[in-house]
Amino acid sequence: MKQSTKEELRKFLYGLLSTAMGVLIALLINSIVNRYNDKDRFDSMLKAINIEAIQNKTIYSESFIQNFRTNIVRREFSTKICDEFLVSNIFLDNASPNITTTLIDYSLTIKRANSFRASDEKYKYDTITYRKWSKGLTESFARNLGKCDTLIDNVIKVTR
């Protein structure tokens, strides 16, 4: 009787150990697959930000630079994709500090250019106010656009 109880206990412990090892191996495999999937998602996010930055480079060349001094800039930059991914855990877990810092600077500078664009448009419709503020506004706008050009190029480079 004692022998069969010991044998049953041994079988039970062996079964328990086998099950526990199987669960641990499954969890390890699941973790590796999730990391691989997160890396794929991160790479897709970088590609999307790269496409947005390339579009912003086109807007910079065709709209902002051609029109900001004398005409109304009709198109705004977009940072929707960049901003959305900067709050994503998957993105932040996989991005280097360099990429994160570059994207934050890019987003803030681009938004500032859009604000300059909106103010510039408003003032150009009001000629009295525009005469008063145009020089300072245009100089600040030009400095900001120089930063935009550099940061857009940096974002395109780091998201390739």
The better pLDDT of the pair 151, 121 is held by 151
Closest-CA residue to 73 (of 82, 81, 62, 63):
63
- pLDDT of 92 strictly over 70: yes
pLDDT tens-place string over residues 31-64: 676 666 678 899 999 999 999 999 999 999 999 9
Please give the average per-residue pLDDT across 81-94, as a whole number: 95
Report how far residue 83's alpha carbon sits from residue 104's, in angstroms, rounded to the nearest whole number: 8
Please give the average per-residue pLDDT across 137-154, as a whole number: 94
107: tokens are 């987003």
63 CA to centre of own chain: 23
Query: How far does the chain reach from its first CA to its final CA, in angstroms?
Result: 71
pLDDT tens-place string over residues 98-118: 999 999 999 999 999 999 999
